[in-house]
Structure 1
Amino acid sequence: MNASFDVAVIGLGAMGSAALAFLAERGVKAIGFDAYFPAHALGSSHGDSRLIRLGYFEDPCYVPLLKRAYQNWRSLEERLRTEILTITGVLQIGAPDSKIVAGTRASSELHGLACEALDKEEMSCRFPAFQLDDHEMALFDPQGGYLRPEAAVLGYLRLAVGGGAVLHFGEKVTAIEPDDAGVTIISETGRYRAGKIIVATGSWIAELIPQLKQAAVPIRQVVAWYQPQDDFATQPQRMPCFLRDEGAEGSYFGFPAIGIDGVKIGKHAHFREPIDPNKPNPPVNDADRDLLDRFIRKRVPAAAGLRMKETTCRYTMLPSEDFLLDHVPGEKNIVVASPCSGHGFKFTSVVGEILADLAIDGQTSLPINAFSFTKI
């Protein structure tokens, strides 16, 4: 046995790196493992920007966690002395009875959140980058914006090391063996012992948590960046981040021109194409490009210039498209985190706190009842 720790974190993407930092801050003897390198592009924590919004259409139960997430993001920025969260506002666009618009309105009303309704004419005057149909509208969340994922992950890892955590990159954990006193961790190069473990391995999660083999499905996601036709209209001061409900076609998301590559666009869950997490993501193809090119020409014509860049990442989808933050049934020493389903990154700063609570105390005061194994 190489070494013994209070808590081991397996998977050091967004959630794992945050959990490790919170554990180290609380004086826990902790170790973190990742099969690849810091902030790698093989999971779901890369690509220069991630949306954050407070009026949450998916379910109002997320809003209390988001409020804590905002606080924790600002705390992280203060500790790192760097900007991670930028407020641009977020537009939720669609028909008044669409899932995104109606859900955002309901969530905002329930929690007393600021939310401004805009019709097509008002949108044209105020945010001219967007094209709406006559019957459509938008809800403007003034507290929304975007996060810098690589900066967040690297920042949490820096804090973890500063707090005394041990990091093992390039070392894949192949098995975990729980018993009443703790868990034995077996990697490709060694064996370790921990009182508790947190498994946050994203698309690989079912390899260590077999109960999720049928439930946690990795899929391929594609995003692309476009040089705008209208540089003025697509700057962050005039073009907020956005979500757009296209009804039966699904939903799209996008960001203003916040970097040299321009405006970023994607379709939530893309084609819902399952992938093998142990193989490289299938490359971007003509069908992917056509989908995003058609959308940006129709809905964000001011941004529909030359496509500059494209890339793939992964979502790990649960059947409900909600999160999983819980102990494995019957295993008090194993905490599992799959806060994914394509909308998890914004919660990183609060999920890290929750995972540390569950590993140290066996429970958390934050509201996570909706994210248990019983809900899968």
Structure 2
Amino acid sequence: MPGPYDVIVVGVGGMGSAACYQLARRGVRVLGLEKFEIGHAMGSSHGLSRILRLAYFQGEAYVPLVQRARELWLETGKITGEPLFYEVGALDIGQEGSGVIEDARAASEKYGLSHELLDRRAIEERFPAFALDTDHIGLYQPQSGFVASERAILAHVTLALYYGAEIHGCEAMLDWKPTAGGGVRVTTDRGVYEAGRLILSPGAWIGDLVPALQASTQVVRQTLGWFSPLRPSLFDMTRFPVFTLEAQEGHFYGFPLWQHPGFKLGSPHFSGEPYDPHLPDRQPSFAQRDLLRACLAKHIPAANGDLLGLKACMYTMTPDEHFIIDTLPGFEQVIVASPCSGHGYKFASAIGEALAELATSGRSRFDLDMFSLRRFA
């Protein structure tokens, strides 16, 4: 029997890879287990990039966590010599009075974040790619941008290995059980391992590993599209930000041109098409493709060119759309770090740090009470 290890991390995606790195750099004997290959496209982290916004309309309590995440993305990029965070600015666009912009502005003011409130005319003058409704307003955040999501996972795994972690790709966990000594025994399709602590960060497969969470989580499909821009210069990184857009067709998000010839647009966050993560393929939703087209035609016509590509990814949703970061009731040696309801990747670097703190000292520098399992009791 290999080991024993101090900590086993199951799921080496956005959160798990960061946890492996943070644990290994602390000298912890860590084993990372990933059922697919490292850097796979079967979960929730592929598609090149993810938005990082500092002014967070989903809740002010997220702001300290995303501020730390930004610091860590910058730090890790410097260590590896390859940038992981690109500060291109972020623009939240919503209907006046809907609460989206108002909540983001309140978070900015509470934490002293640099921001600028813009009306529709000001948005369209500064970013002429947009064609907005008369009641649209926006909040611009110059210190926000995007994270190179696929590259970041590989960077975390590379650093984890450098510091002595053991990472197994293409090895699926079948079961885990507590041991008499207060640790865990993990059985995979290739072996049996023991450790003092277990971190479960399997994303859409959390219900398989923690059946009690099946009633509190739902996996849905999201579709990402890349479209040939009719005026590419409008979407250059030097002049176009990442954005979220609240429109009649849904709540969309998009990026400047980066490492792909197409303009990237994400399908509505609340489209909510249930999806089975056990399916062997990842077929995009053609209904969501049509919504992407409708958004482009109405609000971003300069990007409404030929379709270059579609990808499907998965959101694992909780009823309140907040995360789960907590120890498992009755098993204090097991930490659950999933799901993230479609807005978690930007936090992955800081959540990895928080998981390492929980696994080594039993507490985190962050207030994680909002992510407690108790709220589902």
Q: Is the structural similarity TM-score above 0.5?
A: yes
Structure 1: how far apart are the matches of 2:286 and 2:2? 49
Asked if the contact 1:50–1:149 (Cα under 8 Å) also holds between the matched residues in 2, the reply is yes
With normalisation by structure 1, the TM-score equals 0.97
Equivalent position of 1:277 in the other structure: 277
Residue 244 of structure 1 pairs with residue 252 of structure 2: no
Secondary structure class of the residue paired with 1:31: strand
* Structure 1 position 295, deviation (Å): 0.7
Opposite residue 175 of structure 2, the aligned amino acid is A
Note the C-alpha offset of 1:339. Answer: 4.6
1:129 match? 129
Correspondence for 2:30: 30
Gaps of 5+ in 1: none
Q: Does 1:94 align with 2:94?
A: yes
Closer/same/farther in 2, CA of residues 335 and 188 from structure 1, 3 Å limit:
same
- Would the aligned equivalents of 2:186 and 2:192 in 1 still touch at CA under 8 Å? yes
Letter in 2 for 1:157: V
Matching residue's letter, 1:332: E
The one-letter code matched in structure 2 to 1:138 is G
Preserved contact between residue 20 and residue 32 of structure 1 (Cα < 8 Å): yes
Distance, in Å, in 2 between the alignment partners of 1:120 and 1:30 is 51
Over residues 239-279 of structure 1, what are the superposed CA-to-partner deviations in whole Å (9 max), with x where a residue is unaligned?
211001126x5311001122333210112436311122111
Superposition pairs for residues 194-343 of structure 1, below 5 Å? Answer: 194-246=195-247, 249-269=249-269, 271-281=271-281, 283-343=283-343
The whole-number CA distance in structure 2 between the counterparts of 1:28 and 1:225 is 41
- Structure 1: distance between partners of 2:185 and 2:268: 38
Q: Secondary structure at the match of 1:181?
A: coil
Preserved CA contact (<8 Å) 1:128 1:233: yes
Residue in structure 1 matched with residue 74 of structure 2 by the alignment: 74
Any conservation in 2 of the 1:19–1:355 contact (CA below 8 Å)?
yes
Q: Indicate if the aligned counterparts of 2:17 and 2:153 stay in contact, CA closer than 8 A.
A: yes
Kept in 1: contact 2:51–2:145 (CA 8 A): yes
Counterpart Cα distance in 2 of 1:91 and 1:281: 33
Q: C-alpha displacement at 1:289, in angstroms? A: 2.0
In structure 2, C-alpha distance between the alignment counterparts of 1:58 and 1:288, rounded to whole Å? 23
Distance 1:339 1:143 in 2: 27
Find the aligned partners of 2:268 and 2:108 in 1 and give their Cα distance: 22
Offset at residue 321 of structure 1 (A): 0.5
- Contact 1:98–1:245 (CA<8 Å) still a contact in 2? no
The aligned counterpart of 2:45 is 45
Corresponding position of 1:12: 12
Q: Distance in 2 between matches of 1:275 and 1:339?
A: 15
Is residue 161–residue 167 contact of structure 2 (8 Å, CA) maintained in 1? yes
The one-letter code of the counterpart of 1:23 is: L
Q: Name whichever of 52-61 and 337-346 sits farther off.
A: 337-346
SS at match of 1:203: helix
Match of 1:61 in 2: 61
TM-score (norm 2): 0.96
Deviation at 1:3, TM superposition (A): 2.6
- Tell me whether 1:190 sits opposite 2:191 in the alignment: yes
> How many aligned residue pairs are there?
375
Q: What percent identity do the matched residue pairs reach?
A: 39
Runs of 5+ unmatched residues, structure 2: none
Aligned counterparts of 1:58 and 1:10: Cα–Cα separation in 2: 28
Deviations 1:44-97 (A, max 9, x none): 111011000100000000001111111111110111111110011111112121
Contact 2:267 2:289 in 1 (8 A): no
Paired position in structure 1 for 2:362: 362
Report the CA distance between 1:28 and its aligned residue. Answer: 0.6
Please report how far the alpha carbon of residue 374 of structure 1 lies from its aligned counterpart in structure 2 after TM superposition.
1.2
Number of the residue aligned with 2:345: 345
Worse overlay, 296-305 or 48-57: 296-305
